[in-house]
Chain A
Amino acid sequence: MTAVLPARPQRPTGGRLIDQFEYGLDAPICLTWELTYACNLACAHCLSSSGRRDPRELSTAEAEAVIDELQRMQVFYVNVGGGEPTVRPDFWHLLDYAIGHDVGVKFSTNGVKLDRTRAAQLARTDYVDVQISLDGATAEVNDRVRGAGSYATAVRALENLAEAGMKDFKVSVVVTRENAGQLDEFQALTDRYGAQLRITRLRPSGRGADVWDQLHPTQQQQRELYSWLLANGDDVLTGDSFFHLSAFGEALPGLNLCGAGRVVCLIDPVGDVYACPFAIHENFLAGNVRDEGGFQRVWQQSELFADLRSPQTGGACTKCAHFDACRGGCMAAKFFTGLPLDGPDPECVQGYGESALAARDAATVMPKSHVDHSHTGPVRGQPTLLGMPSIPKVAPAVSSPTPPARICDESPLAGLRLR
């Protein structure tokens, strides 16, 4: 019996590159590899709901095997993250192993392990890029989201890198409602260390779903961000994450399309391969690097990725005059806000997202990831955005936006660097 499958559209010959990319590539241009779910912080918006290590995480030998495979497939570089990747004891070994096997490494860190010695080591290493995460240009704004003390840790790492003579390291910022007005300050801070600014979009992924309503930039802020990028963005990295803003008018440079499963993907700490780093959900799980055939087979043969590798032809957005500019926006942002994948992005700059969000009925169930490694107890430096868990919610007479951290709020393990 022959199953009648809907024919997948065939890749066209020639034409624009963006059209070619919609049909996928033989290997990703680059991929995100979260090395561990362990993290010393508990950022309110963590896209991977990280905190605790997963006992099933890839061993050193398995991680090396993945690197060997990426080398064979000529994946030029990996974006390493977590969790906090540097708390893996074999992190520095894997870094050298990847570079020694023609796989460049860009890693994101909160800076916890970047002392002077490590900074000097990084400055001597070719083909590595370091991104220090900072979500406020001031400690007040940053620590509300990333936790008390995290600004100081990041700044110390920046100082160490600058002092070691490291070139072109990045300050990596997720743009939120609270820091969107600080873009110039971020630029100044970055310049102070001879670094490069990188700003990316807040997604409602992981714990980000819990704070998205509160933290995602307003329409007005999106417009200001767009203007700022057009005016100042030549040397600013964006991870191509703001392509939905292109519907304001002039296209932003970069790949203005969703690359999920087409030109990028995610390998998570346990080896699961998802379509993109913002889509840790079983609907976007394509396979595991431990499966027979490894990562290559997942990338080249998974049904899910094959489904993602075709142009969007239906849905409300294709009828919009701006569709060619924004391509419907971010798949993960739609999915985790309960919107249909062929409809508008929740932050659609033409306003269709807001109406779509308003039109969700009470029965809409928000998709919830099956993966959550959040700390279960208090951690040192709890984000104060949602209020200090240990402080009873008594409304103060005068609102104080940032309750001061108190020693008794710290974990009993405060000061002990466990990893």
Chain B
Amino acid sequence: MRGVLIDAPVAAPAEQVREAGAAPPPGSGAPAPAPAAEFDPSLPWRRARSVALRPEPFGALIYHFGNRKLSFLKSKPLVAVVESLAEHPSADATLVACGVPDAQHPAYRRALADLARSQMIEARTSLPPTARRLAAGPCRQADQPEEP
């Protein structure tokens, strides 16, 4: 059952990734199922086209206009990762480009897998833009040197 006010079914990412950022709905005690097999961090991903992301002081809210799911990105680094997925050849490359410490990669992958399961991010078939400079992306492209 979901919440006059807030009827959007809340996408429920896994409990163990709370600290990484994608958070389950408050009050949802349901154990999350194992991450779907479909999420492959070596493939290119992007925020789903039907998904809006709104920055908030704690991270961001994301809403899927199609399935009406609402979810929360509980840290700004995770917001940066999700927002720049489309600019990198793979999810893993995005983590590197965003400066996520290696030790946290598994937690971030779990968070991304949860977002994939709730269709907040989607696999992308096109290659990432390589030649152009990122307009406003929060993380530099993997194949671009950082500006001095």
Which A residues form the contact surface with B (CB < 8 A)? Answer: 11, 14, 16-18, 20-21, 23, 25-27, 29-30, 32, 74, 76-77, 79, 102, 104, 106, 126-127, 129, 198, 200, 229, 233-241, 243, 246, 250-257, 259, 263-264, 276-278
Check if B143 is an interface residue, CB within 8 A of chain A. no
With A17-B26, A29-B6, A254-B6 as contacts: A238 and B1 at CB distance below 8 Å = yes
Check if B63 is an interface residue, CB within 8 A of chain A. yes
Interface pair A255/B27, CB less than 8 Å apart: yes
The number of residue pairs between A and B whose CB atoms lie closer than 8 Å in the complex comes to: 131
Interface pair A238/B27, CB less than 8 Å apart: no
- Measured CB to CB, the closest approach of chain B to A318, in angstroms, equals 18
Interface of A is mostly: loop
8 A-B Cβ contacts within 8 A? A20-B58, A25-B57, A76-B61, A104-B65, A238-B1, A241-B5, A263-B6, A276-B5
Interface pair B5/A102, CB less than 8 Å apart: no
With A29-B61, A236-B1 as contacts: A252 and B56 at CB distance below 8 Å = no
- Measured CB to CB, the closest approach of chain A to B14, in angstroms, equals 15
C-alpha gap A106/B74 in the complex (Å): 27
For A75, give the chain B residue with the smallest CB separation.
B54
Give residues of chain B (60-75) contacting chain A, Cβ–Cβ below 8 Å: 61, 63, 65-66, 68, 70, 72, 74
For B53, give the chain A residue with the smallest CB separation.
A74
Central interface residue in B2, B54, B55, B65, by most chain A CB within 10 Å: B2
Q: Count contacts on B: residues with CB < 8 A to the other chain.
A: 30
Instruction: Please give 19 more A-B residue pairs, beta carbons under 8 A apart, in addition to A17-B58, A106-B7, A264-B4.
Output: A20-B57, A23-B57, A25-B57, A25-B61, A26-B54, A29-B6, A29-B61, A30-B5, A102-B52, A102-B65, A129-B68, A229-B1, A238-B1, A243-B27, A253-B28, A253-B29, A254-B1, A255-B27, A276-B5
Interface of B is mostly: loop
Enumerate chain B residues within 8 angstroms of A254, measured Cβ to Cβ.
1-3, 6, 10, 25-28
Enumerate chain B residues within 8 angstroms of A18, measured Cβ to Cβ.
26-27
C-alpha gap A255/B58 in the complex (Å): 16
Enumerate chain B residues within 8 angstroms of A29, measured Cβ to Cβ.
6, 8, 61, 70
Q: Contact partner of B4 among A17, A129, A200, CB < 8 A?
A: A200
